[in-house]
Amino acid sequence: GENMLWGGRFTGGLDPLMVQYNESLPFDRILFAEDIAGSIAFARANSKNGILTKDEFGQIEKGLKTIEKEWAENKFKVAAGDEDIHTANERRLGEVIGKDVAGKLHTGRSRNEQVATDMRLWLNKRMLEIEEHLEALMMVIASRAEAEIDHIMPGYTHLQRAQPVRWAHWLLSYGSQFSSDLERLRETRKRVNRSPLGFGALAGNPFGIDRDQMAKELGFDSVMPNSMAGVADRDFVVEFLQWGSMLMIHVSRIAEDLILYSTAEFGFVQLADAYSTGSSLMPQKKNPDSLELLRGKSGRAFGHLAGLMMSVKGVPSTYNKDLQESLEPMIDHVKTVSDSIQILTGVTSTLKIFPAKMEKALSPDMLATDLAEYLVRKGVPFRETHHTSGRVVALAEKTGKPMDQLTVKELQGVDARFGEDVKLCFDYQKSVEQRTAKGGCSKSACREQIEVIKKTIDA
Ligand code: ARG
């Protein structure tokens, strides 16, 4: 144990498997820049309260910047005993500037506050990047919806043909879900970007360190209010994973729709080659692997969320090593979510659509609701018109004629209140254009939705 930072009271060595089991450097090295920024801010603050002289601070800052460069250039040499990024950097600082000054850096500080600080700084940056990716996805959806607003396709419930809708309206249905995701992301980031630095191991800093100043230097919005809560807190990771899991529900569902719509049976869309793969056996195959991975990776995201919540739920107050288990889910989730949004953006922007196929998939029975609404406009109660329209559907089935081919006479046989103008019901364009109320599938209502998406992006 003599190489370890905490080795003072230890005599025997660690079980070799325990060394590996305990170490987090293989994954927390990703935090090297944040760890160094945190250390510089901490040293600067300690130079203002008499713990470090100006000269000592200068040496520490310079040494830390050298080490940061080593990491960035992939030249950092990991040594035995470097159990995590914090110990690795401090050990190296001793080598670079000498142990006498390097040994003062950690005054009043604990790795408990360090790791929480590093993770929050890192996650905040990644969330800002993810926010941009999400906005790009929403822009692709908004601009495709605008450009392709004319096309009509079947809208489904229970995967059964339900009512005609605009293709743009379907796109915007996901645009609307992603808008809420964007709002939630911004909301969640507020609780990520708060500083725990200066909390010590659990009880607070005894040298009057200026936490506000450190937080400001590091770009945090504010400081966390309680040291015991601050070192215990992985809620910010849980909340991020909850956020991303909800997002991945939407990603998975749009992927599922598109997989279906890209089958020969539907044929509404075709994926660009850039997002498809072939079969090693069947030469004709073009498989939507991108979409299947989007759907599959949602499972991975939810799994990490469930795993993290289980890891945290029984942990007593303040820091316990269980909390180290929050790093890998956080890192993996960032990658999953960030990559997935970008892949979906690529798929969506390069997708080829086949409006003629969409139109061919429409059938007159999808206008049965419009037929009922026709009678409603003549003053008949909807419950009655629903029944009447149902009888027309049955008649169409019985006679083997599509509903729109029934004569006015045949329709009047079902209900005498059908007039000559009933034929106007059998018009898909008219059907969708009637739905002008906010959020509906008429052109004007779709354009309103596009504006809402753009406003959310700019908010
Ligand atoms: N590698 C540790 C983690 O990620 C840093 C904190 C260690 N603190 C401690 N008291 N052992 O959680």
pLDDT at 8: 74
Q: The domain spanning residue 155 has which CATH number?
A: 1.20.200.10
Indicate whether 350 and 412 sit together in one domain.
Answer: no
CATH number for the domain that contains residue 373: 1.10.40.30
Q: Is 386 a catalytic residue?
A: no
H/E stretch holding 152: strand 152-157
Tell me what pLDDT residue 2 has. Answer: 52
Please write down the HEC assignment for all residues of 366-428: HHHHHHHHHHHCCCCCHHHHHHHHHHHHHHHHHHCCCHHHCCHHHHHHHCCCCCHHHHHHCCH
- Flag whether 121 is in a domain: yes
What burial letters (b/e) apply to 92-108, b meaning 16+ CB within 10 Å? Answer: bbeebbeeebbebbbbb
Torsion of the alpha carbons at 371, 374, 375 and 376, rounded to the nearest 10: 120
- In the block, residue with structure tokens 């059907």: 431
Question: Which of 360, 378, 396 represents a domain boundary (last residue)?
Answer: 360
User: Backbone dihedral region of 116: left (phi > 0), alpha (psi from -120 to 50 degrees) or beta?
Assistant: alpha
Atom of ligand 1 nearest to the CA of 85: 1
Mark whether 85 and 66 lie in a shared domain. yes
Pair (370, 398) in one structural domain: yes
253 and 379 both lie in a single domain: no
pLDDT at site 278: 86
Distance 382 CA to ligand 1 centre (A): 66
Question: Which own/partner contact pairs does 62-68 have at CB distance under 8 Å and 24+ positions apart?
Answer: 62/97, 63/93, 63/96, 63/97, 63/102, 64/36, 64/39, 64/40, 64/89, 64/93, 65/36, 65/40, 66/96, 67/36, 67/92, 67/93, 67/96, 68/32, 68/33, 68/36
- State in Å: Cα 364 to ligand 1 middle: 65
Q: Is 450 within a domain?
A: no
Lookup: tokens for 440:
């509906």
Residues 126 and 165 reside in one and the same domain: yes
Look up the pTM and report it: 0.95
In a domain, 263, yes or no: yes
**Quick one: which H or E segment has residue 154?**
strand 152-157
Identify whether residues 38 and 76 lie together within a single domain.
Answer: yes
Tell whether 415 is covered by a domain: yes
Distance 336 CA to ligand 1 centre (A): 25
- Interval between CA 112 and ligand 1 midpoint (Å): 6
CA 321 / ligand 1 centre spacing (Å): 6
Whether residues 268 and 300 fall in one domain? yes
Asked if 98 and 235 sit in the same domain, the reply is: no
Mean pLDDT by 10 residues, the chain (459 residues): 67 88 98 98 97 98 98 97 97 98 97 98 98 98 98 98 98 98 98 98 98 98 98 98 98 98 97 92 90 98 98 98 98 98 98 98 96 94 95 96 95 95 95 97 98 97
> Which residue owns the Cα nearest ligand 1 atom 12?
324
* Nearest by Cα to 102 from 44, 60, 42, 62: 60
- For ligand 1, atom 4, which residue shows the shortest CA distance? 324
374 lies in the same domain as 346: no
ipTM above 0.90, yes or no: yes
Statement to judge: residues 43 and 160 lie in one domain: no
The total number of structural domains in the chain stands at 3
**CA-closest residue to ligand 1 atom 1:** 84
Q: Is residue 190 part of a domain?
A: yes
Q: Is residue 214 situated within a structural domain?
A: no
Q: Residues 86, 133, 195, 279: which is the catalytic one? A: 279
Q: Is there a single domain that holds both residue 152 and residue 92?
A: no
Provide the CATH number for the domain around residue 19.
1.10.275.10
Q: How far is the CA of 35 from the centre of ligand 1 (A)?
A: 13
CB 327 within 8 A of CB 27: yes
Contact (Cβ atoms closer than 8 angstroms) between residue 34 and residue 64: no
Does residue 124 form part of some domain? yes
Domain's final residue, options 66, 85, 102: 102
> Could you tell me the two tokens for 422?
């009933």
Q: Which domain holds residue 232?
A: 111-202+224-360
- For the CA of 201, the closest atom of ligand 1 is 10
Pocket around ligand 1 at a 6 A CB cut-off: 24, 28, 84, 111-112, 115, 319, 321, 323-324, 327
Active site annotation includes 106:
no
Distance 299 CA to ligand 1 centre (A): 29
Last residue of a domain, one of 360, 384, 417: 360
Are 413 and 328 found together in one domain? no
Query: Does 442 reside within a domain?
Result: no
Strands 222-223 and 194-195 come out as parallel
| Helices vs strands, H then E, count in the chain | 19, 6
- What is the distance in A from the centroid of ligand 1 to the CA of 414? 77
